[in-house]
Structure 1
């Protein structure tokens, strides 16, 4: 029996199983008994380098000297360091090595004669087609096959007498996109086209030909193209690509023939080149080869597509079933059942001991394996069913006992670059038809990692539950016992002139915990604290429950260092369980005359001081923020602000005095390209402001708009420089821009504490590529921003910001869609909430509470504002405030801030992590920012601070200003119809409605609808027409009426809907009479709290006039309801 090791790296997600087929099939034909150990890695698929390291770690598992031969395949490996490492490793072993497609000194070679075959293609182009200018479109420069083909290229040029220049060769990857890039770059460079592009493989050739066609070129008329490898891409492409046949099916057998000759000492043990041929075809100007059956190929594509869909469905079902497994054995059993339902004879799973034990302090190797630290977690094969092994050695002996003409395939189990074990598949013949083992393995690894973490938590909890328990609640001595035991011991030590240590501890926020979760929860918490204190106590010391949530630890002897280490251990354990305590330590001084109680009071005082410091620090988790991105403009225009007493203040001094602890800045890519921006919010301005923010030791939130100017739900325009980028280039641009901005901030020591990836991106960003509902593309773009933050600033938090802060039903589906589309984990959710646009205050509270519970993320209000007056040219008019709960006014502005801050604090009390940012409060009416500062800032027309700043300064999350907040909010929303609407209702009752089917009782009969929506997005319900969209849309509904009597008429609509930036809703009347065509409109300020009757001013209509009455909408993603449309004669 001969043992062969095959070390092979898959192509992206796929296993290269043809080598196995060649070796196993060849062994039967050659009369050899062979056992093949196949170590398969997929280190070229993931963008996560640590994941790839976890794959390649498998190459260190086998003892290569224990084999009779090694087959090495690195043709797909793109990591040069890994190739060089494996070459050095294999050169050190004492067994013959056959290398596939990669020639190395000392190794036998099986593969194409790349130089000869590539030269054959070049000679054909030179002699048969008269080509005089050549370009080599290559793969990776270090790749052996690519190097050989390039050597042939250079030698041919030399023989033809053509000098080699730098623009005659290109290097990249072996994939289709490399060909796309080569052709695109060549076109943009406006260089003359060569006679022929000689591509290193068919993937490159196909990408190059396809891009050429898009750019208006024709192959082979404008230039010729050749490939290499004779993939389906070449044979079935249009034009059919000239290529070189790569007879891969014989590789395994050829390797085996070399080994046979070496083992038997007979035959040819030299390098073996494949019997490959050059195949001229249409892309070089030759005729179609006629070798392909197109109809059969299409049939196979269809069949393959159906099979892939079935396989993907099966893998999805497997993923679901794996997620339901809560024990390792169940997990591996379900995985094994799935694998063995295909052609596979057995599954064996080996894991490291820390994985099996699910230890809290588990440490996993990143290099190498230790068989003594491994256990067999699962074993099952078709011969003997379920098996149990005491050790991995026992499993290896069992495998060797049945290894005749057998293949064992090894797959790495790892958590990124941490090795946790490996899976062994026996005779996995299913891989020949189903090479997507990586998808199955990935599903297993994902659930395994989550299950490991789950078990760690379970084990940790069990350890705490099993701590020693004597007392009814805590198992500790009580206060009476403390007096009886400690005081005599203290007196004895005092008499012996020996000092001791007294530690006084209590639980932080214990009353709040009891009030929130109940006394039973509080009791459990106390038991946990007691167990940890007792378990970690120094030898000879004693722990007591002094009363309530207070504990005393008495440590005899003068051991200062012991007490400090003890407290550190306790704190570390407590923090792992999100429990927090405060302590005070006192070291006694014999002869001081102080009693035990005196020392106890001192320790209690120290504990209280620490608790207060902690409280202040925790309160700072509540961010009192402002967005002051326009301050540079204010400074440039010499605009001054004053405090309430009229003293002129510098902006940041004023903010500090009012307890503002966080500043938000927006950044635009190239605002200089938009005249209206006046160049503000550029990187230069952000760097200057960031320096000041850090100087004042404030929290810094940076808001990326990814636009040259404003980005919001109604407009998410690409930067001008990015407008013509492909999607892949756009992703790269997002990553690079984010990284570059953060790098500039980092090197100035001004890195942001939190970063927003996009501004109000509920409708998407970087339109049209990232527009909703293209969630996968939007997620891909967002992920590039997230990755840039994680790579450069791992401590910086990442936030996603949406508008509609009071609309849970708008926000939750968006996040679900994005997470399902692959959006990376984030650290926080940011919301905009303007009470006149985004629902009621109670809607805000409900939305924040539900988001926190659903996603376990802190939620911040990163934009809010409230008008302090109504005036000419105000930003928010009076009509819009009718549904805001509070009218405009300085007192109302203050109250609005108090309500919003109190809501944020109440719903976030478990973590304390939240905050509220007022948007652009620093400005003076009439001095910049358009109409915003007329009534939305926090300074009056004289530049004096408004009372709203008191709300920010005085707000204390622990002592909020409003008692019974929910009742107070409810009292704000009481409505009465206006006299105009009441009069209209009377007219409607008297004269009737000229609109037929006005409430849609008879469906859409008599109504004309024009819309960009699908029918499912506007439906009929009990309240009339319901409209909902997750993308921008237009909608118009109208009815035409012939007027029978001259008179004045009023049109009306009962409407309810979302109000946000970019919403345009109009009630309209188009009149056609003898004098011509006239249009009358009325803007509607939507109210989604209730239906509101909106009226058009009376219009005089002539007899026989034709009137069309209806509603037009042009909006970002919103919901709307149309209950009734009316036309009444006065």
Structure 2
């Protein structure tokens, strides 16, 4: 009977985990401005409303900043009202982020609005906070645009709403708390259902900050909000999870990562520099970063937050693509390398963290299969693969024949690992006699060895001996019957396509970092790749239902 009761309890717990409505979403504050500057967002090659894109991918919350009197009007009340309307029209909740400034407020800058400049009486300043907050929320409520969550300040680590020349530290706790409480009171008196958020940057200082706030009689907020950027905050994902546990245990309040960001490339789309760079890359994630590593970072972070009792994760500005717009840092985007859209504004897989099933722990390992086609190669003493994944001694791992002169070796590796490998025909270190001679264009490791990067649950590396040519897809350890042929491979300028499956509808071409290179009609026989950069490309055949029928990797050579 006890065993049955335990099974029922575990079953009900699993149902509860699956049914829980985690608060995952995105900050889309820049979107209106970017669209006014010409930005168009695409999903699978078709233009689509960006709010609909995020809603369709299971975003539940849109975060929007509001500035008091911003230059140019964007992020002001009228702009925010438009954004809230778009969010609610697509079924998403809203987290409204009051900066209490005319521009950015963050750990290094908390300048009060010009309208409040010169106020020296703290009570008058607190009244200004109350009246402004109440007016904004009341006006939104009157138009059925009331946000579900309200953030009282942005990254308020130090003193808030300071005059020019005043210092952010040491923190004047009684002063700050009076201002916080004025904002909270205004939100609750507008509508008691509003959940208030106090937001600071850097998980490593969170326990200290909220403990000190409590010691100064401040605890009447609803949610603890944190920013976490690996570029700036010296803590890994496991450490963030531990911080969530500690905060949840100590304060009995929900904990929410309301800002995070991680690059999918180190490249730029234009001349503007980017906010996030190589310093963002955590150990165990590929360097340079990829779309897969960005997605894996977000899934792992979100799971760490949720499994430790947190509310969820909001991704900061995933739609900040390059346009002719000018920010205070210059023209264009300074974050396009961390957005969920590639340099052609095509949606990529980074967004998939929103729809991941967080009742399941993300896998930390990958099943990795190596294949080599030995046709017309004299096999002397078997076929082997060796690389740094076999240990510091580089053991020779025996590959098994699976037919048609193809050999296979499968192993398990940790996600995030990368390194070198090569195929051999004898367990011997005479490279000239027994190791394949890998062409330079596909030998990124020392000019002699192939490279693996492990990011997915399964990875496959399949080549012809001493060639950059990639084997067709392999299914159940046999050569797959391809629905189309692509040649030559490698190619320099022109790629020829021959469709063998007449049910196909279109041809999609993606670069190695996941960017959509182009979409072509299924009747296309040649593709001009002369302007493409050297590297690998994925050619996909799609049917009329937007389902991938088949895919082939090709290599573009500029040599």
Q: Distance in 1 between matches of 2:58 and 2:213?
A: 36
- Structure 2 counterpart of 1:817: 212
- Say if 2:82 is the partner of 1:688: yes
- Say if 2:9 is the partner of 1:510: yes
Conserved 8 A contact 2:27-2:63: yes
Map residues 887-906 of structure 1 onto 2, 5 A cutoff.
887=287, 888-906=289-307
Cα deviation, residue 934, structure 1: 3.2
- Structure 2 counterpart of 1:943: 345
Q: Aligned pair in 2 of structure 1 residues 772, 622: CA closer, same or farther (>3 Å)?
A: farther
Conserved 8 A contact 1:771-1:778: no
Q: Distance in 1 between matches of 2:283 and 2:143?
A: 43
Conserved 8 A contact 1:783-1:824: no
Map residues 620-659 of structure 1 onto 2, 5 A cutoff.
621-643=21-43, 645-659=44-58
Conserved 8 A contact 2:202-2:227: yes
- Structure 2 counterpart of 1:465: none
- Say if 2:172 is the partner of 1:777: no
Cα deviation, residue 926, structure 1: 4.7
SS at match of 2:26: strand
- Structure 1 counterpart of 2:502: none
Map residues 735-754 of structure 1 onto 2, 5 A cutoff.
735-754=130-149
Cα deviation, residue 689, structure 1: 1.3
Higher relative helix content? 1
Conserved 8 A contact 1:769-1:778: no
- Say if 2:355 is the partner of 1:962: no
Map residues 37-76 of structure 1 onto 2, 5 A cutoff.
none
Cα deviation, residue 918, structure 1: 0.8
Cα deviation, residue 962, structure 1: 2.6
Q: Distance in 2 between matches of 1:722 and 1:769?
A: 17
SS at match of 1:664: strand
- Structure 2 counterpart of 1:730: 125
Cα deviation, residue 932, structure 1: 2.4
Q: Distance in 1 between matches of 2:340 and 2:278?
A: 21
- Say if 2:252 is the partner of 1:853: no
Conserved 8 A contact 1:799-1:827: yes
Equivalences, count: 359
Superposition RMSD on alpha carbons, in Å?
Answer: 3.2
Map residues 656-695 of structure 1 onto 2, 5 A cutoff.
656-672=55-71, 678-695=72-89
Q: Aligned pair in 2 of structure 1 residues 854, 897: CA closer, same or farther (>3 Å)?
A: same
- Structure 1 counterpart of 2:318: 921
Map residues 291-440 of structure 1 onto 2, 5 A cutoff.
none
Q: Deviations over 1:868-925 (max 9, x none)?
A: 11125441465424556533221111111111111122112xxxx6121110001323
Map residues 1028-1043 of structure 1 onto 2, 5 A cutoff.
none
Q: Distance in 2 between matches of 1:512 and 1:779?
A: 44
Conserved 8 A contact 2:150-2:196: yes
Cα deviation, residue 846, structure 1: 1.3
Cα deviation, residue 508, structure 1: 11
Cα deviation, residue 754, structure 1: 0.8
Q: Deviations over 1:501-546 (max 9, x none)?
A: xxxxx9998207889xxxxxxxxxxxxxxxxxxxxxxxxxxxxxxx
- Structure 2 counterpart of 1:233: none
SS at match of 2:24: strand
SS at match of 2:23: strand
Conserved 8 A contact 1:875-1:932: yes
Q: Distance in 2 between matches of 1:878 and 1:693?
A: 30
Map residues 827-838 of structure 1 onto 2, 5 A cutoff.
827-838=222-233
- Structure 2 counterpart of 1:1062: none
Conserved 8 A contact 1:770-1:777: no
- Say if 2:106 is the partner of 1:712: yes
Higher relative strand content? 2
- Structure 2 counterpart of 1:331: none
TM-score, normalised with respect to structure 1: 0.30
Q: Aligned pair in 2 of structure 1 residues 818, 881: CA closer, same or farther (>3 Å)?
A: closer
- Structure 1 gap segments, 5+ residues each: 1-471, 474-478, 480-505, 516-610, 673-677, 975-1130
Q: Which has the higher contact order (CA 8 A, sep 6+)?
A: 2
Q: Aligned pair in 2 of structure 1 residues 791, 769: CA closer, same or farther (>3 Å)?
A: farther
Q: Distance in 2 between matches of 1:509 and 1:771?
A: 54
Q: Distance in 2 between matches of 1:638 and 1:671?
A: 21
Q: Distance in 2 between matches of 1:866 and 1:664?
A: 18
Conserved 8 A contact 2:229-2:280: no
TM-score, normalised with respect to structure 2: 0.59
Larger Rg: 1
Cα deviation, residue 964, structure 1: 8.2
SS at match of 1:763: coil
Conserved 8 A contact 2:230-2:279: no
Q: Aligned pair in 2 of structure 1 residues 622, 514: CA closer, same or farther (>3 Å)?
A: closer
Cα deviation, residue 961, structure 1: 3.1
Conserved 8 A contact 1:770-1:778: no
Cα deviation, residue 933, structure 1: 3.3
- Structure 2 counterpart of 1:907: 308
Q: Deviations over 1:1101-1126 (max 9, x none)?
A: xxxxxxxxxxxxxxxxxxxxxxxxxx
Q: Aligned pair in 2 of structure 1 residues 851, 510: CA closer, same or farther (>3 Å)?
A: same
- Structure 2 counterpart of 1:230: none
Q: Distance in 1 between matches of 2:151 and 2:65?
A: 9
